[in-house]
């Protein structure tokens, strides 16, 4: 059998980790008479390297959990109470199809799909589902909850999400880990980083929080949240002023250096020090060290993106390696995401040609607004400030939402609004899930979903350069069905007759891989299934921009971006402050003087795994890290229960008083299931639905709060 082998009566099957993480590990699943008995990291896959993270190491606890949703159900109590009655698949699908037909007869845009990255597989996350909603004429969903700000910012400078090969990190001499916490969120990069250190590299973390990663680095620069753009501009100021640039690289491969020089004059270290909370001396030393060490890599990531100016911050940081010529080396440059190195025929997969009604697009990060009847509209008065936002009535209102691969009641910002929306009696809600999540409690119909061991898929990655296949290793548990299958069945009930609704999962995988993309050459579905993973068609020593070749409109690294100028955005890097800071929102800060960030807890994967016993045991209970100064001025002692609040809402957790959080910043590691906390609330009760400057992404870490002992 493809991708599987028999050994002593045990079968091993090649799979891929489905989770939203850069590492997309190659898995080997051992099966004993139809039951999976072991999930391990593939020894032969270079980045997986034979080990898994704390979560997927115990994937069987997820697959065989007694908490799994095993059959379709319909609501038998008030919304949110979680009272359900078992029904058949036929009844469930007939109910959904009938309701969708009724709504579509009036205006199909009143139906909204809501999905993100519960699984990252191309088939189970963006294939038959997209075809179905396109044909239906449903509203489109702008999937902005995670990466769209950084992707847009990086694109403006570099052209696409392509960067340094993670497999070359061990050869770097300086690694700046900037707004990224690889020990928790990208653990397979960490051994490479440690190898670099053994070879003499210095590791610097730039993070307002002493994360697991920051505490292991040689230096930790604890800047104020959302001020990364200012810091990067000050670094450029010093690098240019002191002539530490690679003039030849700049002349040959970049655009707009003269205007950049002029712009960075405004960002002297003395001006930027109070903005960032980083001393002038540190800024100057960091600039000299960065420009003077070769090869140097910047691992930039999500921390800096989740603020009003997150897109521009990424764009600005992404200018640095071209200034110093760091791209010349395969072990230099920057890594945000490798996703743009892959090519897949997404048109064949998703069939946007089926769209017939020019439907509106709803931003998933403002789902609270959308479900309560509004849409958030951005406009710009000033090209170098965060966009202004206002709420306009949403017409038609959302009257049905179909949630899969996501848990918006827990993970979307401003949950007070989100839940008010989900509580509406005139909203028809379908939730296709593995578990009875906070969101599933609000469903009219709950459908049981398969885990990765039970379905087929193919995967790209955003933290390495291999395509992967996931061969199913066991039969679906209970009556669970894969996403693709449910949409196939619904399409039939809706009377959608196009041939594409009959494609099998493997048909769709073949269509997705059928591409003329040069880096996808030589990757066939049969080989992928057999071998489990195949490296993209890139050289072993991959230095994507050693000789320019940036995928921008000019083919150069764009310090000056005509594309941004045309969108009414500052064409040059500029510091766009967060919306909620003590400096930028002084009136708000009188009431709510602390900046709150809520990055991932080590043992959870967003809200996934946050319901299972071992992971809950490891995380103990929701906490707030607070600096001793901020605690003392509020009479808070270590271990006290504290209430964190602002105008949007509140949640209550236990305080952990330590120097992990810098003064002025509090940290609530996330994402907890609401129904599993003391007060039914989590960090997203206080986060905001405001969007970023580029990419209209969520601004989870742009949040002022006050904290009180309870
Ligand atoms: N274990 C685990 N792994 C995960 C996830 C998970 O939930 N759990 N989630 C996955 C997903 S979906 C994603 S998107 C990635 C996210 O992974 P990362 O890119 O690591 O992102 P975060 O953990 O959100 O933030 C990284 C660090 O940035 C810091 N930070 C916050 N604000 C700022 C800022 O303004 N500037 C700077 N410089 N730093 C800041 C945070 O304190 C944090 O330590 O991880 C993936 N991997
Ligand atoms: N406060 C705060 N909020 C955050 C973040 C943060 O750092 N702080 N991080 C944000 C980020 S980066 C992201 S990416 C989002 C993530 O938000 P989501 O993408 O919603 O991620 P999860 O919370 O992991 O929820 C995914 C759900 O999909 C389900 N699922 C998994 N596989 C399948 C499948 O095959 N079929 C179906 N139907 N369901 C499946 C899982 O059981 C799980 O409940 O959260 C965001 N929210
Ligand atoms: Mo994410």
Residue 383 pLDDT > 90: no
Tell me if 146 CB under 6 Å of ligand 2.
Answer: yes
**Chain segment 58-68, per-residue pLDDT in tens:** 999 999 999 99
CB 415 within 8 A of CB 685: yes
pLDDT(5) > 90: no
**Residues flanking ligand 1, CB < 6 Å:** 20-21, 146, 178-181, 184-185, 206-209, 211, 225-226, 228, 301-304, 307, 597, 599-600, 602, 604-606, 701
- Token pair in block for residue 414: 């401003």
Q: What percent of the chain has pLDDT over 70?
A: 100
Of all residues in the chain, what percent carry a pLDDT higher than 90?
A: 97
Could you please state the CATH topology (level 3) that the domain comprising 4-63 is classified under.
N-terminal domain of TfIIb (2.20.25)
Compute, in angstroms, the gap from residue 396 CA to the centroid of ligand 1.
Answer: 36
**Residues sharing a CB contact under 8 Å with residue 240, sequence separation 6 or more, in sequence order:** 260, 261, 264, 323
pLDDT (tens digit per residue) in 275-320: 999 999 999 999 999 999 999 999 999 999 999 999 999 999 999 9
Cα(401) to ligand 1 centroid in Å equals 28
Q: Which of 21, 222, 611 to mutate to test the pocket of ligand 1 (most atoms within 8 A of CB)?
A: 21
Q: Please tell me if the CB atom of residue 667 comes closer than 6 angstroms to any atom of ligand 2.
A: no
Assess whether the C-beta atom of 453 lies below 6 angstroms from ligand 2. Answer: no
Residue 109: its H or E element: none
Give residue 2's pLDDT.
Answer: 55
Mean pLDDT of 474-491: 98
CATH code assigned to 149-339+543-566 = 3.40.228.10
Residue with structure tokens 């969708």? 100
The tens digit of pLDDT for each residue in 8-58 reads 889 999 999 999 999 999 999 999 999 999 999 999 999 999 999 999 999
CA of 588 to the centre of ligand 3 (A): 28
**What are 596's strand-pairing partners?**
666
Give the mean model confidence (pLDDT) for residues 477-487.
98
Best of 302, 412, 606, 690 to mutate for ligand 2, by most ligand atoms within 8 A of CB? 606
Index of the ligand 2 atom closest to the CA of residue 407: 20
Average pLDDT on 341-368 reads 98
Which residue is associated with the tokens 């949403």? 394
Distance 374 CA to ligand 1 centre (A): 29
Q: Say how many Å lie between the CA of residue 462 and the centre of ligand 1.
A: 14
In the CATH hierarchy, which fold is given to the domain comprising 73-138+344-459+474-524?
Rossmann fold (3.40.50)
Query: Residue 340 has what DSSP assignment?
Result: G
Are 307 and 226 in contact, with CB atoms under 8 Å apart?
yes
Name 492's Cβ contacts closer than 8 Å, sequence gap at least 6: 501
Q: What's the angle, vertex CA 648, arms to CA 646 and CA 651, rounded to 5?
A: 65
Mean pLDDT of 526-533: 98
Ligand 1 atom 47: the closest Cα is on which residue? 185
Per-residue pLDDT band for 1 (boundaries 50, 70, 90) equals very low
The predicted-structure confidence for 140-199, as pLDDT tens digits, reads as follows: 999 999 999 999 999 999 999 999 999 999 999 999 999 999 999 999 999 999 999 999
For ligand 2, the distance from its centroid to the CA atom of residue 708, given in whole angstroms, is 30
Q: How far is CA 104 from CA 89, 301, 445, in A?
A: 22, 40, 18
Query: Could you give the C-alpha distances from 219 to 195, 207, 212, 269, 316, in angstroms and in order?
Result: 17, 11, 13, 19, 22
Burial call 210-236: b when 16+ CB within 10 Å, e when fewer = bbbbbebbeebbbbbbbbbbbbbbbbb
Q: Which residues are 447's β-sheet partners?
A: 432
Q: Which atom of ligand 2 is nearest to the CA of 684?
A: 1
- Could you read off the pLDDT of 317-332 as tens digits, one per residue? 999 999 999 999 999 9
Atom number of ligand 2 nearest to Cα 432: 38
Q: What one-character-per-residue DSSP string does 228-283 give?
A: HHHHHHHHHHHHHHTT-S-HHHHHHHEE-HHHHHHHHTT--HHHHHHHHT--HHHH
Ligand number nearest to the C-alpha of 305: 1
Taking the centre of ligand 2 as the mean of its atom positions, its distance from the CA of residue 671, in whole angstroms, is: 9
What CATH number does domain 586-709 carry, 3.40.50.1820, 3.40.50.300, 3.40.50.620, 2.40.40.20?
A: 2.40.40.20
Record the pTM. 0.98
Rounded to an integer, the average pLDDT of 664-680 is 97
User: Residues 631-659: pLDDT tens digits?
Assistant: 999 999 999 999 999 999 999 999 999 99
Residue 138 near residue 108 (C-beta atoms within 8 A):
yes
Quick one: pLDDT band at residue 382, thresholds 50, 70, 90?
confident
**Contact (Cβ atoms closer than 8 angstroms) between residue 682 and residue 574:** no
Mean pLDDT, to the nearest integer, of 527-537? 98
Domain ranges of the chain: 4-63, 73-138+344-459+474-524, 149-339+543-566, 586-709
pLDDT surpassing 60 at residue 595: yes
Q: Which ligand is nearest to the CA of 301?
A: 1
Q: What is the mean pLDDT of residues 580-606?
A: 96
């Amino acid at each position: 059998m493809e991708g599987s082998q028999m050994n002593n009566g045990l079968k091993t099957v090649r799979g891929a980790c489905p989770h939203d993480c850069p590492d997309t590990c190659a898995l080997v699943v051992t099966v004993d008479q139809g039951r999976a008995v072991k999930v391990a990291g593939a020894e032969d896959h270079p980045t997986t390297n034979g080990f898994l993270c704390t979560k997927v190491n115990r994937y069987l606890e997820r697959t065989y959990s007694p908490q799994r949703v095993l059959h379709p159900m319909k609501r038998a109590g008030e919304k949110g109470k979680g009272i359900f009655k078992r029904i058949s698949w036929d009844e469930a699908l007939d109910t959904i199809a009938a309701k969708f037909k009724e709504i579509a007869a009036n205006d199909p845009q009143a139906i909204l799909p809501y999905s993100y990255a519960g699984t990252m597989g191309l088939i189970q996350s963006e294939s038959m589902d997209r075809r179905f909603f396109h044909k239906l004429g449903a509203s489109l969903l702008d999937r902005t909850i995670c990466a769209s700000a950084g992707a847009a910012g990086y694109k403006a400078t570099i052209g696409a999400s392509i960067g340094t090969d993670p497999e070359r990190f061990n050869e770097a001499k300086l690694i700046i880990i900037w707004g990224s916490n690889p020990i928790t969120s990208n653990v397979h990069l960490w051994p490479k980083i440690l190898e670099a250190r053994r070879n003499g590299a210095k590791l610097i973390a730039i993070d307002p929080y002493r994360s697991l990663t920051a505490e292991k680095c040689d230096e930790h620069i604890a800047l104020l949240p959302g001020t990364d753009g200012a810091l990067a501009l000050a670094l450029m100021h010093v690098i240019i002023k002191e002539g530490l640039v690679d003039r030849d690289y700049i002349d040959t491969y970049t655009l707009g250096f003269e205007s950049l020089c002029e712009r960075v004059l405004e960002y002297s270290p003395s001006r930027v020090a109070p903005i960032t909370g980083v001393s002038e001396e540190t800024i100057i030393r960091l600039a000299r060290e960065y420009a003077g060490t070769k090869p140097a890599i910047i691992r930039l990531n999500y921390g800096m993106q989740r603020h009003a100016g997150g897109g521009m911050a990424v764009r600005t940081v992404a200018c640095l390696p071209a200034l110093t010529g760091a791209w010349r080396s395969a072990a230099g440059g920057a890594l945000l995401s490798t996703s743009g190195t892959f090519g897949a025929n997404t048109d064949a997969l998703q069939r946007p040609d089926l769209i017939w009604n020019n439907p509106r697009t709803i931003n998933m990060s403002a789902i609270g607004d959308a479900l309560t009847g509004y849409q958030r509209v951005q406009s710009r008065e000033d090209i170098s400030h965060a966009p202004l936002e206002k709420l306009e009535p949403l017409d038609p209102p959302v009257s049905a939402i179909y949630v899969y691969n996501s848990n918006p009641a827990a993970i979307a910002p401003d949950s007070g609004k989100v839940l008010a929306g989900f509580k509406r009696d005139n909203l028809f809600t379908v939730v296709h899930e593995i578990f009875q999540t906070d969101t599933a409690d609000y469903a009219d119909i709950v459908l049981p979903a398969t885990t990765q061991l039970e379905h087929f898929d193919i995967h790209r990655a955003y933290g390495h350069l291999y395509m992967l296949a996931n061969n199913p290793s066991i039969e679906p548990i209970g009556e669970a069905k894969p996403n693709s299958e449910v949409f196939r069945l619904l399409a039939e009930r809706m009377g959608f007759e196009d041939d594409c609704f009959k494609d099998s999962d493997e048909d769709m995988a073949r269509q997705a891989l059928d591409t003329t993309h040069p880096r996808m050459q030589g990757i066939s579905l049969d080989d992928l299934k057999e071998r489990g993973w195949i490296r993209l068609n890139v050289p072993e020593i991959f230095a994507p921009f050693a000789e320019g070749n940036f995928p921008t409109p000019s083919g150069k690294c764009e310090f000056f971006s005509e594309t941004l100028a045309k969108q009414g955005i500052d064409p040059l890097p500029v510091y766009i402050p967060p919306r909620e800071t003590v400096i930028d929102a002084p009136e708000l800060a009188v009431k709510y003087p602390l900046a709150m960030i809520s990055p991932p807890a080590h043992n959870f994967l967003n809200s996934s795994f946050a319901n299972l016993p071992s992971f809950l045991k490891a995380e103990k209970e929701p906490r707030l890290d607070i600096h001793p100064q901020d605690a003392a001025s509020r009479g808070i002692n270590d271990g006290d229960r504290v209430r964190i609040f602002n105008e949007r809402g509140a949640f209550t957790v236990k305080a952990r008083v330590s120097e992990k959080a810098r003064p002025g910043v509090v940290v609530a590691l996330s994402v907890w299931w609401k129904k599993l906390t003391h007060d039914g609330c989590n960090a997203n009760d206080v986060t905001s639905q405001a969007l970023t400057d580029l990419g209209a992404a969520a601004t989870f870490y742009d949040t002022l709060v006050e904290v009180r002992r309870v």
